[in-house]
Amino acid sequence: MDLGAIGNAAWQHFPEAREDIKELLCDELQRAIDEDETPKPVDDYEYVIHAIGPTIFHKLGVVDIDQDLVERFCLFCRDVLKYSGPDRLSVSYTFNMYVLDSLNSRSIVDVVRRTDPELVELVTRRYPGRWAEND
């Protein structure tokens, strides 16, 4: 089953979010049944807000950081950044506006930089102003 670029990466790297992802899929199936329509793909924004957000947004800025979570977050980012499907512009926009913007604090960027400095460079090049050294 294809969950889309962000959904697939979330499923792979954040097993703790799978129940939330399942709920999003079930909600869409129920909506389609209720409205006698064909189910639609879950929007990337929904994955970010309801599955990825609760999994990582509040956990990456804490003092006792879970290094495994940081490493999985970096892999998630790399998977989304290398996505090149037909909806890549939409995926890129969602990633920039709802993932990177939510994690644009100095403390979080420093944690990611210590774990994967190349990822920070990649993000800064692709999204000027994001995760820049002088922020």
Percent of the chain residues past pLDDT 70, beyond the cut: 96
- Each residue of 31-78: pLDDT tens digit? 999 999 999 999 999 999 999 998 888 777 665 778 899 999 999 999
Cα separation of 42 and 23, whole Å? Answer: 11
Whole-model pTM? 0.91
Say if 131 falls within a structural domain: no
Say if 20 falls within a structural domain: yes
Say if 87 falls within a structural domain: yes
Q: What is the Cα gyration radius of the chain?
A: 15
pLDDT at res. 63 = 59
Number of domains in the chain: 1
Cα separation of 4 and 42, whole Å? Answer: 8
Burial class (CB in 10 A: 0-12, 13-18, 19+), 68: exposed
Contacts of 72 (CB under 8 A, 6+ apart): 13, 14
Domain that holds residue 84: 4-126
Say if 34 falls within a structural domain: yes
Say if 94 falls within a structural domain: yes
